[in-house]
Structure 1
Amino acid sequence: MTELNVWKNVDDYFMDKLLPENEHLDAVLQANKEAGIPEIDVSPTQGKLLYLLAKIKGAATILEIGTLGGYSSICLAQALPKEGKVVTLEINEEYALVAQQNIERAGYKEQVEIILGNALDSLPNLKKAGHLFDFIFIDADKPNNPAYLKWALKLAHPGAIIIADNVVRNGAVTDEISEDERVRGVQQFIDLLKEEPRIEATAIQTVGVKGYDGFVLAIVN
């Protein structure tokens, strides 16, 4: 049995034991597949982790950079108090349309706002409008991770949690001479975390149905 099969079997075990069936999230994955959206959503166990972290934080305002088909948006919305809000940014119009349909089907039309466009254009507009967030999830194009972190700091309440996904790059994050712009973006992101006195952070390696990867967990002081 390969490592990936073992990891998938363990994920399946935990999903069966700890994650109750969620027809809305299952429907999102099916709708995304039918629409031809890349199957790069967070896994169900990772989605539940996002939900739990947002709930532990008591987050009422959540920013997501990278909507895709709305799977993680819904996971985060499930953690909101009644008057809470998720603002999620997506550059791809087709993905945003599918995500909107998924979010409405799941019953979170009023809690989740999708902003279509380049995130680096949308983020300054959020700042100008006076938005601040309790929880920020960065899961978009990796070369721009350093810029996303800088904006996250400008948009974060004191004590805000920042999560960044896909930071291990199958181990390539340690390759100091990598020419992969995604790897370079993550490395620069990590360097900024190291140098930024307002942030305490760690990174966790993960294995599972999505293979070998990991995420950053940070808090803004």
Structure 2
Amino acid sequence: MKKCINNILSLLFVLSSLSLFALSECFSCENPIVLPTSADDNIVLPEVYDQDDDPIRIGMTYIIKNPNIGGGAVYLDNIGHLKCPNAVLQHIPVPGLMGNGTAVMFVRDKSDDGEVVRVMTLVYIKFFVETTPLCVNETVWKVNDEQIVVTGGEVGNENDIFKIMSTDIKIRDYKNVYKLLHCPPYVKCNAIGGSFKNEHVRLVTVDGEGFTPFVFIKA
């Protein structure tokens, strides 16, 4: 029975990945659009938008969701019996594994970079969740040595920087679809995708086109 359940979960994850090919017109815009704002060639990058067509704002709460068939919302859980939950997972549409996700905030270590999130500008991602004093500083996303997204990062640590990239992906009932990137200093950014491990979909860094598309929904 357990083997059968694992096979079903694996199939759903594969469908979630394949639906990116079936439902999208193209994979990504590798060069973000820039908009000139003056004759001095000053530029401003486009804002990142949620599903209500409102710009994503620093300090507000959002649900991050994979809009593909078989995809689901991103959430925080403790799957390793650790002192603090640190697994960044994705729900899938199976009884017992469905859920509404865990709200996140996009934050910066400097307040002079504006109140909205713009494409390809640095942000830190932090779960907005009730926690214990022991775990209060364990909610910021980072990528560990196994290239798995976990919590335990630190706002201000350049190794824990993420960016949001525009795409041209078109998925039924969804708009403003983006690509998440992990962008530590001095190396190229890596996209965030999904990997089915131990009955859970973990967020991981990936190369090439194996990324997971994401949308942002007000929490």
TM-score scaled by length of structure 2 = 0.24
Q: Which has the higher contact order (CA 8 A, sep 6+)?
A: 2
Larger fraction in helix: 1
Q: TM-score, normalised by structure 1?
A: 0.24
Q: Which has the higher strand share?
A: 2
